[in-house]
Structure formats: structure tokens, C-alpha cells
Amino acid sequence: MSNKNKDLIPQVLTVLFIILVIIYFTINAQNNMGNRGISFGFGFLSQESSFDIAFSLIDYDGSYSYARAFLVGLLNTILVSVIGIFFATILGVTVGISRLSQNYLISKAAEWYVEIFRNIPLILQIFFWYFAALRALPLTIDSINFYDISFLNVKGWYVPRFIWTNFSLFFYSIVTAVILIFFLSKYAKKQRDDFGKQIPTLYISLGILLGLPFLTFLLGGVTLTFKIPELTQLSKTIYVYQGGVTIIPELISLALALSMYTATFIAENVRAGILGVNKGQKEAAASIGLTKGQILKLVVMPQALRIIIPPTTNQYLNLTKNSSLAAAIAYPDIVLVFAGTALMQTGRAIEIISITMLTYLSLSLSISLFMNWYNKKMAIKEK
């Protein structure tokens, strides 16, 4: 028997064993469900859900199907994850760089922030921000007023609603601007590489990004008006703002808690990344006359990113998965809406939990794929 076969046999046996175990569990589950009179199927997804959800990015009420309720939950999960990732990244990078600051006060403050927030369980932080916010915010009648257009109170943050005409034209103008900027940066890079000419890309890009949509207002008949939330009295002491867009306190506190918590880990990644770049690199860059900003942007960051990206991907995944703690404070994410209410209503535990698990798996894999792509782009290119 050749060596190759010797290696192969244990592997084949292992795979066979795993398959047998899976088959055994499957048959067992089917038998048990049969015995207990539990049916299996996904037909319930098209049934009317008959429960309402407080916060939804798409049209929804109880007359829609369970599948639609699933979609509402999924979008809410994605929304809070995207907001969380955005702020966690900004905060994390800022704190990470601050920890390396020469300024004692700044670096100590950053260190304290990291040590406090990463060592308290996330669920407690979520409760803290939620109930602290609820207790601290005023009732609707005494709302905190931002220039009479936006209002903050215990029931949420009320902002004006945008009312567009010819929105599609405006949208396409932004798409065009982005495409133009893409080609501009290619052109600028070529100019720099071939002739050593520096083109102020940033200012031109900003000009295009603001100018083009602005033109559609002047020439294309695009208009934008605002509907400012109005205070309505419901009873002697109950008031509510209506007409605007409501950002519910559950979303605010969940996003806040997730970003504050995850930022601590990202900050440490950033610090490690920057410290991981050889000191000689910075000195060499300084010796050829680059400014401090240029050193950071052109020499340190490209190398640091290679160290920062892989562990930060993990943090993005964690944040997305941690968003499932939303159920504790009534933010209608996929776990609360689908694996909570819908599961209760239908009693289809196996189906619903499986769908929810597969959904998180797909979300996480998508983030991984994107970050791997970005990491490859940033990796050292052998020339």
C-alpha cells in the first residue's frame, strides 16, 4: 500500500463516521417529531403574521406574511450592525491612535476607556445605555429641542422627514459623481506615477460630489422639502411627535452600546498595527522629507493595515452577532421578531431557529468575504 493511501484511509473513515452521525440524528429527530405530532415544513412562512413591529425599514404590518416579518427583522439587524460597525471603526481608530499619543492625558484617557468598556459584559452595557437613556431623557412635553426641527425625548429622537420630487435624478447624479471620482483617482495616480505630478484629488472629488447633485436642483427640477415633526396631544398628559421620522431609543442605545464595546477591541488592533510597523520605516520616510501626515498615510498606514484588518474582521463579525442581544431591550431585530414572536406564534422551533442560524451564517460569511477581499487588496504585492 502506498503512503498516499495510508493517509487517505483515516480521512475517508472520519468523513463516513460524521455522515453516519448526521444521518442518525436526522432520522432520530424525524421520528421524535413524528411521535410528538409535530409537523415539519416551511409553509407557515406565507401565512399572515398578525403581529405588528414598532420599527421597520419597509412597509409592514400584521397583515403581511411571516416571511415579510423575517425580512423586517433581518433589515433591522443589518441596520444596527452597519451603524455599529461605522461608529465602532471611527471610535476605535481614534482611540487606538490616541493611546499612542505623546500627550499623557489623551493616552491615559484612551487607555482607561479601553480597559473599562472591554471588561464589562456587553448585555450589561446595553441595559445601562438603554435604561440610563430612558431615565435621563425628558418626557415628550419637555423634549430637548434642536432649533425647532428635531426633538429628543424618552420615546425617541424625532427628525424631519425628507420629501423629494424627482429623487431618481438626484440619485443618478450621485452615482455619476462616484464614477467620475473613480476615474479621476485612476488618472491622478497615473500622472503621479508617470510624471511625478500631484493632483489635488480630494478637492476636485469634493467639488464633483457636491456640484453635480447641486446642478440637478438648479436644472433638473429636483426639490427637497422637510416635514418637521409636530407635537400632538393624545390625552391630558400624553403627547407625541408626529409627521417626522422617529429613531427609537432602542436603536440608539443598542448601536451606542455595540460601538462603544467593539471600539475597544478595534482600538487595540489599531495600536498593535501601528506599533508593528518598523521604526526604521518612519525614520526613512522622514529622511526623504515627507510630512508627518504623509508618513502616516503613505508609509505607516498601508503597512499597519495588514496587521489591523484580519483581527478587525473578527470584531465586525462579533458586533453583528452581538446585535442579537437586541431582544433584551425590545429592538425588533431578527431574533426578537422572527426567533421570538414568530417562533412563539407558530411553534415551529426547528424551522425558525435553522433559518435564523443560516441567516447569521450568511451575514457573517458576507462580511468575511468582503474583508478578505479588502485584505488581499492591502496585502504586500510582490513586484
Q: Using CA atoms, how far apart are residues 70 and 59, in angstroms rounded to an integer? A: 13
Within residues 284-343, the interface with another protein by CB under 8 A covers 327-330, 332, 336, 340-341, 343
Among positions 11, 102, 147, 236, the unique one binding another protein when judged by CB under 8 A: 236
CA dihedral 354, 360, 363, 367 (to 10 degrees): -140
**Least Å from the CB of residue 192 to another protein:** 51
Is the Cβ of residue 6 or residue 236 nearer to another protein in the bound state?
A: 236
Figure out which of the listed residues 12, 16, 17, 50 binds another protein, where binding follows CB under 8 A: 50
Cα distances from 226 to residues 76, 147, 153, 223, 382, in angstroms, run: 24, 14, 20, 10, 53
Decide if residue 200 touches another protein (CB under 8 A).
Answer: no
Pairing type for strands 161-165 and 156-159 reads unpaired
User: To the nearest whole angstrom, how small is the minimum distance from the Cβ of residue 133 to another protein?
Assistant: 9
Name the 3-class secondary structure at 116: helix
- Write down the least CB distance from residue 351 to another protein, Å: 7
Q: Is residue 109 a contact point for another protein (CB under 8 A)?
A: no
Give the Å distances, CA to CA, from 274 to 211, 352, 361. Answer: 37, 44, 31
User: Three-state DSSP class for 259?
Assistant: helix
Are residues 149 and 160 in contact, defined by beta-carbon separation less than 8 angstroms? yes
* 30 touching another protein, by CB under 8 A: yes
Among 34-42, 186-194, 211-219, 252-260, which window interacts with another protein (CB under 8 A)? 34-42
Crossing angle (nearest 10°) for helices 301-322 and 349-378: 170
245 counts as binding another protein under rule CB under 8 A: no
| 29 lies in the binding site for another protein (CB under 8 A) | yes
Q: What is the spatial distance between Cα 126 and Cα 191, in angstroms, rounded to a whole number?
A: 50
Q: Which of 37, 196, 289, 293 binds another protein (CB under 8 A)?
A: 37
Cα–Cα distance measured from residue 227 to residue 92, given in angstroms and rounded to the nearest whole number: 35
**Contact status: 351 vs another protein (CB under 8 A):** yes
Residue 242 found at the interface with another protein (CB under 8 A): yes
Minimum gap (Å) between residue 8 Cβ and another protein: 25
Closer Cβ to another protein, 178 or 234, answer by number: 234
Q: How far, in Å, CA of 145 to CA of 251, rounded?
A: 20
Residues 150-169 that bind another protein (CB under 8 A): 154-155
Please give the helix or strand (H or E) that residue 318 lies within, else none: helix 301-322
Nearer to another protein, 131 or 146 (CB): 131
Residue closer to another protein, measured from CB, 33 or 175? 33
CB of residue 36 to another protein, shortest distance in Å: 4
Region from 47-55, 116-124, 212-220, 301-309 binding another protein, contact rule CB under 8 A = 47-55
Q: How far is CA 362 from CA 74, 340, 355, 359, 369, in A?
A: 11, 20, 10, 5, 10
Choose, by CB under 8 A, the member of 120, 284, 357, 369 that binds another protein. Answer: 357
| Contact string (CB under 8 A) for another protein, positions 61-90, x = contact | -x----------------------------
- What letters, b where the CB count within 10 A reaches 16 and e where it falls short, cover 256-269? bbbbbbbbbbbbbb
121 interacts with another protein by CB under 8 A: no
Q: How many residues bind another protein (CB under 8 A)?
A: 55
Q: How many angstroms separate the CA atoms of 316 and 49, rounded?
A: 32
Report d(CA 20, CA 342) in Å as an integer. Answer: 33
Contact residues for another protein (CB under 8 A)?
22, 25-26, 28-30, 32-33, 35-38, 40, 50-54, 62, 131, 134-135, 139, 154-155, 232, 234-238, 240, 242, 249-250, 327-330, 332, 336, 340-341, 343-351, 353-354, 357
